[in-house]
Structure 1
Amino acid sequence: MTDDVPAPDLRAADADREKVAEILRDALAEGRLDMEEFEERLDATYKARTYGELAPITRDLPGAGTAPVPAVSLTKDPARGGGWADRIVGGDDPGTSSWAVAVMSGFQRKGRWTAPRRFNCFAFWGGGEIDLREANFADREIVINAVAIMGGVEVIVPPGVEVVVRGVGIMGGFDHREEGVPAEPGAPRVVVTGLAFWGGVGVERKLPRAERQRLREERRREKLERKEERRRQHLDRADRHRREVEAPRPLHDPLNLHSPHRRPAPRPEDD
């Protein structure tokens, strides 16, 4: 066995099963599989626990004489970029922006930017949004110092980030709902502090836009699959009904006149 082929009894990950499921969906769309075959193989995919169980599911795709479908890699590739280690830039990076002010107006920090070790913001009769879902971090711990006076500041963090809230509210308040959620290994800590006077500082955890789009696409595909399944069941019922209607029916014979086993009545001269 070469290094490129994993042991058949090696445990498969969710990502491996999703690769196989994606190939099956493409094969269904291209007409390589009918709905019944697709359902059987998809069910086997999500039940598979090892590479040995996954490998045969797409072995015959595509058929002879067709363009090749990319093979499913069953080897563990090195971790690609995009993890927390790549997003914590460290060093002397001061961050893309270190402060923001909104006076009867608003501000936003969102998209791909570098959150500094300390970000100061002030909102007076206005509001601000600090979105960290796609941001890099200047350090493993950053502090957002928010002062909201008759205004509000919203802090949006991605899943996996630890949140600590230390702000003070006077006829206002800080949102503590995201505290206590365990952090992912290597994820940064976001400390939210400051003052809210007749205002509020909210903290909300949301999925990144790309992840939300992926989940929407999965739900859309599942909806299409359920719709196709209902259509197939309807066609099956219609086909069974058609066969029942077209099947020959026995002749209505309440007196059993046409029975091949009916004996003829005896004639008087036979007595």
Structure 2
Amino acid sequence: MTISAGDPQPIASQADRDSAVQRVQAAFADGHLTPEEMDERLDLVLAARGRGELDTVLATLPAEAPATQATIGAASGRIKRGGVWRVPRHLTVASAMGRVNLDLSRAIIEDPVIDIELQVGTGRAKITVPAGAIVELDGLVTQWKDTRYRLPRRTERTGPTIRISGVMGFGRLTVRHARR
């Protein structure tokens, strides 16, 4: 979206300002800013009215590091992730009632070990892992139904290790390997 001189600038929300403050503080902690530069940028961030002003303050800072932890949650309904998506090092999936479907077969997995913590009350969960992944279920507690997982016929251990832990309440977890 291009903003012309006549268009109003999108207003910066409190969440935008909080995120910018954290980024300035992280740049200072990493040694990219002096204390004076940090103070000056924090003043500009707190006084910013629009997102464009925030972008200007943050433009010369290093890019944010990718998230290593994320939570996906829903009280009811479906949680579904598939296609090309970036999987953090630690993923928590919380669902009180509903279905969970995580497809990691085409996901971007940058870490050799991925921890998935399930907190599922009522409902089913299905996780599709890459063809060569190693699956560990030692940390998973099932309260109602057993987990369905069968090793693939060809056991080429070329993918990441997927460690699944947490609690499956009144539902079943099914883990399967993607086909090549």
Question: Is the shorter-chain TM-score for this pair beyond 0.5, marking a shared fold?
Answer: yes
Identity of aligned residues (%): 21
The aligned residue for residue 254 of structure 1 is none
Query: What is the identity, as a one-letter code, of the residue corresponding to 1:175?
Result: R
Query: What is the identity, as a one-letter code, of the residue corresponding to 1:144?
Result: I
Query: What is the identity, as a one-letter code, of the residue corresponding to 2:155?
Result: P
Q: Quote how far apart the aligned CAs of 1:106 are.
A: 0.6
Q: Tell me, in whole angstroms, the C-alpha distance in 2 between the residues paired with 1:109 and 1:146.
A: 14
Q: Quote how far apart the aligned CAs of 1:180 are.
A: 9.9
Q: Quote how far apart the aligned CAs of 1:178 are.
A: 3.4
**In structure 2, which of residues 80, 87, 91 is the aligned counterpart of residue 108 of structure 1?**
80
Structure 1 unmatched runs, 5+? 1-91, 212-271
Q: Quote how far apart the aligned CAs of 1:159 are.
A: 0.9
Is 1:202 the counterpart of 2:174? The answer is yes
The aligned residue for residue 118 of structure 1 is 90
Q: Quote how far apart the aligned CAs of 1:165 are.
A: 1.0
Is 1:178 the counterpart of 2:151? The answer is yes
The aligned residue for residue 188 of structure 1 is 160
Q: Quote how far apart the aligned CAs of 1:123 are.
A: 1.9
1:98 counterpart SS class:
strand
Q: Tell me, in whole angstroms, the C-alpha distance in 2 between the residues paired with 1:180 and 1:198.
A: 30
Query: Measured at CA, do residues 137 and 161 of structure 1 come closer, stay the same or move farther in structure 2, by a change above 3 Å?
Result: same
Q: Tell me, in whole angstroms, the C-alpha distance in 1 between the residues paired with 2:94 and 2:71.
A: 8
Q: Tell me, in whole angstroms, the C-alpha distance in 1 between the residues paired with 2:161 and 2:132.
A: 9
Q: Give the number of the structure whose alpha-carbon radius of gyration is greater.
A: 1
Query: Measured at CA, do residues 152 and 126 of structure 1 come closer, stay the same or move farther in structure 2, by a change above 3 Å?
Result: same
Query: What is the identity, as a one-letter code, of the residue corresponding to 1:121?
Result: V
Q: Tell me, in whole angstroms, the C-alpha distance in 2 between the residues paired with 1:190 and 1:200.
A: 18
Structure 2 unmatched runs, 5+? 1-64
Relative contact order: is structure 1 or structure 2 higher (C-alpha 8 Å, sep ≥ 6)? 2
**In structure 1, which of residues 75, 88, 93 is the aligned counterpart of residue 66 of structure 2?**
93
The aligned residue for residue 142 of structure 2 is 169
> RMSD value over aligned CA atoms?
2.3
- Which structure has greater helix proportion? 1
- Which structure has greater strand proportion? 2
The aligned residue for residue 128 of structure 2 is 156
The aligned residue for residue 116 of structure 2 is 144
Query: Measured at CA, do residues 116 and 180 of structure 1 come closer, stay the same or move farther in structure 2, by a change above 3 Å?
Result: farther
CA contact (8 A) 2:152 2:177 kept: no
Q: Tell me, in whole angstroms, the C-alpha distance in 1 between the residues paired with 2:128 and 2:151.
A: 10
Q: Tell me, in whole angstroms, the C-alpha distance in 1 between the residues paired with 2:137 and 2:168.
A: 12
Query: Measured at CA, do residues 179 and 205 of structure 1 come closer, stay the same or move farther in structure 2, by a change above 3 Å?
Result: closer
Query: What is the identity, as a one-letter code, of the residue corresponding to 2:120?
Result: A
